[in-house]
């Protein structure tokens, strides 16, 4: 007979009994507005024509292929051959050569040799040794300073790498990590998960989102004055969500600040190839640390999700550890071992990213052309969207120097702000929700990233396809102008 007692019916896992740190976590990039966007997408599938727009335009996340960015042919050819290895068999190789260039075939064979011919098998926990060696060579060529494969760990995306480093940093709830405001919500969400303290410092919007050492010193002094054990500083360069790119002199100031204050430096550099201006070229923190011969402890992160590769779903990335204690490196190896290994196709995509076809290779010209086409299109779209934002009433926007985003500032009418506050809503979130309901455009409110008190922003990618870009801009313009007109009359 089934036990009908209250104790038998009680759930063990409830909101009250779950890990409270998980309950506290927030991740605005996939928050209420994207969730509502998916509901509207389903409505359009079931009831076409039931909404004032025909499709959802997901500008809330840097997910290039979702918005029809073409995958790089060489990377996909190598991946296909590694997945279906029969194409490389003696019986099929002549037919394969009619479909695939010789350098893709040779790369697939070479990469399969790294894993004993089995792309579905576990690899070393830190990642395939030969791929790590190629990453080290890439870093050396980029920066002009040595890189050691032993200090490189391949990961399933840069996010997992950031989480792992924060995990080893946070030993108690009083540990603090300095984070930029505005920031990518991965940092606040992960620190909340680890029950640690996020220490905000403000990027300077009036100075193209550069960092102020004075503000860093203020933020650190205030936190330490409260007894917080501030151990690290995170920097996102090029910036997410701002699109800013730090000048080398500013990077040197940051390195010296962290060395002086005994802080571990976390350099999130996943947008390093997304640079659209000649005035602010990308300079890695590793290069500056090496030039200064600094002893600062540095972790730098890179990924296949951004740049012109845009393979977000393959989940490939790496971190390089510089000036890190040998015993901590052993602990990081142990943490990697618990996860067994990063996914193999992600590792192989990292290999293509850091070691693309070279001059003389069969795929070189096509690869270069595809990368150039994606880059130039992104640059045009970034410029066009910034110009559109700056042409609108109650809105201003810095140009994108890098990354995939713009972070315009919106002067919301006081009547609308009061209305939103009366409903217990963040005014910028309410504005973005109205935008979604009117246009199908999904963006992220600035409150999801943090912003100067009293200001309102939102983050939008500039990834919608170029042939649809004018339609996308017109839809936004019509909404915003009608919104400002309506609420300015109240």
Hey, how many other C-beta atoms are within 10 angstroms of the C-beta on 450? 22
Question: Looking at residues 436-459, what average pLDDT do you find?
Answer: 91
Q: Which two tokens stand for residue 398?
A: 């810095």
How far apart CA 208 and CA 244 sit, in angstroms, is 6
Question: Looking at residues 421-432, what average pLDDT do you find?
Answer: 91
Evaluate if residue 189 carries a pLDDT over 90. no
Cα 70–Cα 73–Cα 76 angle in degrees, nearest 5? 100
Question: Looking at residues 395-418, what average pLDDT do you find?
Answer: 91
* Predicted confidence band of residue 131 (pLDDT cuts 50, 70, 90): very high
Residue 406 · residue 392 · CB < 8 Å: no
Question: Looking at residues 243-259, what average pLDDT do you find?
Answer: 94
**For the ranges 65-69, 171-175, 476-480, which has the lowest average pLDDT?**
65-69
Query: Could you tell me how many helices (H) and strands (E) the chain has, helices first?
Result: 18, 14
Question: Looking at residues 10-15, what average pLDDT do you find?
Answer: 80
**For the ranges 112-116, 169-173, 307-311, 343-347, which has the lowest average pLDDT?**
307-311
Contacts (Cβ under 8 Å, ≥6 apart) of 17: none
> Do β-strands 298-303 and 317-322 pair in parallel, antiparallel, or remain unpaired?
antiparallel
Treating both helix axes as pointing N-terminal to C-terminal, what angle do 129-143 and 344-354 enclose, rounded to 10 degrees? 30
**H/E segment holding residue 377:** helix 364-390
Evaluate if residue 4 carries a pLDDT over 70. no
Residue 413 · residue 488 · CB < 8 Å: yes
Evaluate if residue 8 carries a pLDDT over 80. no
Question: Looking at residues 430-451, what average pLDDT do you find?
Answer: 92
Beta strand residue intervals within 30-160, DSSP E? 57-58, 152-155
- pLDDT at site 339: 84
How far apart CA 227 and CA 219 sit, in angstroms, is 13
Evaluate if residue 6 carries a pLDDT over 60. no
Q: Using one digit for the tens of pLDDT, what is the confidence trace for 35-67?
A: 899 999 999 999 988 988 888 888 888 777 777
- Mean pLDDT for the chain? 89
Backbone angles phi, psi at 66, to 5 degrees: -65, -25
pTM for this entry? 0.87
Measured in whole angstroms, how far is the alpha carbon of residue 72 from the centre of its chain?
A: 19
Q: Cα dist. 20→14, 15, 52, 375 in Å? A: 11, 8, 40, 43
How far apart CA 403 and CA 389 sit, in angstroms, is 17
Evaluate if residue 171 carries a pLDDT over 80. yes
Question: Looking at residues 417-445, what average pLDDT do you find?
Answer: 92
Q: Which residues of 250-261 are buried (b: 16+ CB within 10 A; e: fewer)?
A: bbbbbbebbbeb
Q: For the chain, what percent of residues have pLDDT higher than 70?
A: 97
Evaluate if residue 13 carries a pLDDT over 80. no
**For the ranges 60-64, 307-311, 360-364, 443-447, which has the lowest average pLDDT?**
60-64
Dihedral, CA of residue 21, residue 23, residue 28 and residue 33, to nearest 10: 180
Evaluate if residue 68 carries a pLDDT over 80. no
| Selected residue with higher pLDDT from 56 and 12 | 56
Residue 349 · residue 316 · CB < 8 Å: yes
- pLDDT at site 27: 62
Question: Looking at residues 158-167, what average pLDDT do you find?
Answer: 88
Q: 376: left (phi > 0), else alpha (psi -120 to 50), else beta?
A: alpha
Q: Which two tokens stand for residue 99?
A: 């479909």
Question: Looking at residues 395-421, what average pLDDT do you find?
Answer: 91
Contacts (Cβ under 8 Å, ≥6 apart) of 316: 154, 155, 156, 157, 303, 304, 305, 342, 343, 345, 346, 347, 348, 349, 350, 353
Hey, how many other C-beta atoms are within 10 angstroms of the C-beta on 481? 13
* Predicted confidence band of residue 29 (pLDDT cuts 50, 70, 90): low
| Selected residue with higher pLDDT from 188 and 150 | 150
| Selected residue with higher pLDDT from 2 and 333 | 333
Evaluate if residue 101 carries a pLDDT over 80. yes
* Predicted confidence band of residue 450 (pLDDT cuts 50, 70, 90): confident
Q: Which two tokens stand for residue 401?
A: 């120097």
Evaluate if residue 283 carries a pLDDT over 90. yes
**For the ranges 241-250, 415-424, 459-468, which has the lowest average pLDDT?**
459-468
- pLDDT at site 416: 92
Q: Using one digit for the tens of pLDDT, what is the confidence trace for 72-87?
A: 999 999 999 999 999 9
* Predicted confidence band of residue 3 (pLDDT cuts 50, 70, 90): low
């Amino acid at each position: 007979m089934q036990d009908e007692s209250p104790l038998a019916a009680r759930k063990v896992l409830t909101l009250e009994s779950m890990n409270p740190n998980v309950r506290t976590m927030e991740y605005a990039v996939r928050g209420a507005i994207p969730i509502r966007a998916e509901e509207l997408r389903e409505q359009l599938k079931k009831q076409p024509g039931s909404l004032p727009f025909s499709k959802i335009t997901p500008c809330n996340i840097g997910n290039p292929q979702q918005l029809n960015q073409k995958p790089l042919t060489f990377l996909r050819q190598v991946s296909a051959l590694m997945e279906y290895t029969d194409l490389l068999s003696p019986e099929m190789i002549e037919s394969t050569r009619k479909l695939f260039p010789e350098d893709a075939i040779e790369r697939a064979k070479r990469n399969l040799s790294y894993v004993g011919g089995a792309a579905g098998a576990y690899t070393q926990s830190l990642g395939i040794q030969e791929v790590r060696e190629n990453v080290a060579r890439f870093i050396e060529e980029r920066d002009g300073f040595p890189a050691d494969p032993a200090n490189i760990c391949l990961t399933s995306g840069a996010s997992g790498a950031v989480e792992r480093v924060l995990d080893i940093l946070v030993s108690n709830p009083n540990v603090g990590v300095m984070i930029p405001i505005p920031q990518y919500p991965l940092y606040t969400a992960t620190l909340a998960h680890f029950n640690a303290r996020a220490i905000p410092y403000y990027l300077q919007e009036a100075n193209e989102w550069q960092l102020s050492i004075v503000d860093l010193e203020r933020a650190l002094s205030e936190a330490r004055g409260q007894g917080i054990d501030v151990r690290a500083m995170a920097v996102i360069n090029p910036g997410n969500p701002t699109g800013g790119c730090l000048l080398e002199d500013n990077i040197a100031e940051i390195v010296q600040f962290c060395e002086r204050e005994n802080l571990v430096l976390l350099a999130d550099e996943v947008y390093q190839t997304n640079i659209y201006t000649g005035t602010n070229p990308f300079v890695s923190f590793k290069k500056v640390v090496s030039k200064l011969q600094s002893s600062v402890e540095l972790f730098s992160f890179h990924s296949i999700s951004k740049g012109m590769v845009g393979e977000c779903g393959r989940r490939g990335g790496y971190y390089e550890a510089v000036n890190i204690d040998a015993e901590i490196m052993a602990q990081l190896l142990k943490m990697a071992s618990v996860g067994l290994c990063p996914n193999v196709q992600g590792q192989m995509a990292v290999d293509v990213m850091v070691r693309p076809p070279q001059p003389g290779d069969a795929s070189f010209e096509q690869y270069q052309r595809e990368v150039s086409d994606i880059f130039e299109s992104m640059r045009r779209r970034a410029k066009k969207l910034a110009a559109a934002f700056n042409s609108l009433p109650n809105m201003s926007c810095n140009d994108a120097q890098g990354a995939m985003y713009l972070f315009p500032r919106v002067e919301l009418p006081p009547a609308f702000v009061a209305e939103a506050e009366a409903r217990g809503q963040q005014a910028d979130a309410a504005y973005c929700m109205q935008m979604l309901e009117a246009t199908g455009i999904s963006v992220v409110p600035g409150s999801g990233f943090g912003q100067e008190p009293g200001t309102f922003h939102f983050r939008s990618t500039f990834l919608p396809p170029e042939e649809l870009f004018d339609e996308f801009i017109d839809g936004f313009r019509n909404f915003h102008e009608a919104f400002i007109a309506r609420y300015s009359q109240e």
